[in-house]
Amino acid sequence: MSVENCVRSIEGGYLHFNRVDSYKDFPDADRHDGEQLPGDRAGNAAATFAKAPGFSVAHYYDQSRSRTYAFCAALEDTDHAWTYGGGTARGNVGLVFDFDKLRATLNRALLSGGAALEFNGARCRQIFDLNYGIVNYVDWESHRANESRLPNPIMYTYLKDRGRFAEERELRISLSALGIGKFVLDDRTEIAFPQHLHLDFDFRAAFADNTIREIIAGPRCDEDFLRTELRRLGADLVPRDPP
């Protein structure tokens, strides 16, 4: 990520999730992220719900996609990974997570009875399902996911085009809400799903217990600025140069 976004995340105490249908604002963005496959759409559109014949499974998948968010990480430290987050004045930086510890931390936070969603200042019931997985890279135009049965909509969040994105070697954490019906507050205000979502995350605790194992300075990283900010924020890690 960019150094600036890293500092903002540590200071704000959050992990940044993007809605999967919103990747449009940078070169080579995957405009089909989380979308049902082209070969699946006709079959999905032909399948409808018994109590809502005007609402097809294709509609369900599209609506699920518009309520699904992803936090993306690379499985390996590669040259391709460093193509992300470098277009700012301070350069980019990599955080190396211990995945088992990260998963345990997020499970405790999201699956506990105290988890809640905040929308426009109002505290709401937690509505998101938490999933983890390694992205499966397929031939986008020919692959089918619904040949034998209709897939769980979350499956589309973990499929990407092999020809364009296989170099990413992506591990993904997703938050997804049910793709049927509407979510409303007590005053009947409908919840609109924003482009970004911030999940509370205690970076200081993650540095202390080695959930974040190290920080790697990118090739154009402003290391003096990064070190100063890390000290200010109480992050007891010294960035190292990339291999």
The DSSP code sequence of the chain is -BHHHHHHHHHHTEEEEEEGGG--SSTT--TTTTPPPHHHHHHHHH-EETTEEEEEHHHHHHHHHTTEEEEEEESS--TGGGGSS-SSTT-BEEEEE-HHHHHHHHHHHHHSTT-EEEETTEEEE---EEEEEEPEEE-TTT--S-SSSPPPGGGGGGEEEHHHHGGG-EEEEEEE--SSS--B-TT-PBPP--SEEEEE--HHHHHHTTSEEEEEE-TT--HHHHHHHHHHTT-----B---
Q: What is the 3-state secondary structure (H, E, C) of 170-188?
A: EEEEEEECCCCCCCECCCC
Q: What is the pLDDT of residue 30?
A: 93
pLDDT at 240: 65
pLDDT at 80: 93
Which two tokens mark 93? 């930086």
Q: Would you write out the chain's pLDDT as a tens digit for each of its 243 residues?
A: 999 999 999 999 999 999 999 988 777 889 999 999 999 999 999 999 999 999 999 999 999 999 999 999 999 999 999 998 888 999 999 999 999 999 999 999 988 777 888 888 888 888 999 999 999 999 999 999 999 999 999 999 999 999 999 999 999 999 999 999 999 888 888 999 999 999 999 999 999 999 999 999 998 899 999 999 998 988 766 666 655
pTM confidence score:
0.93
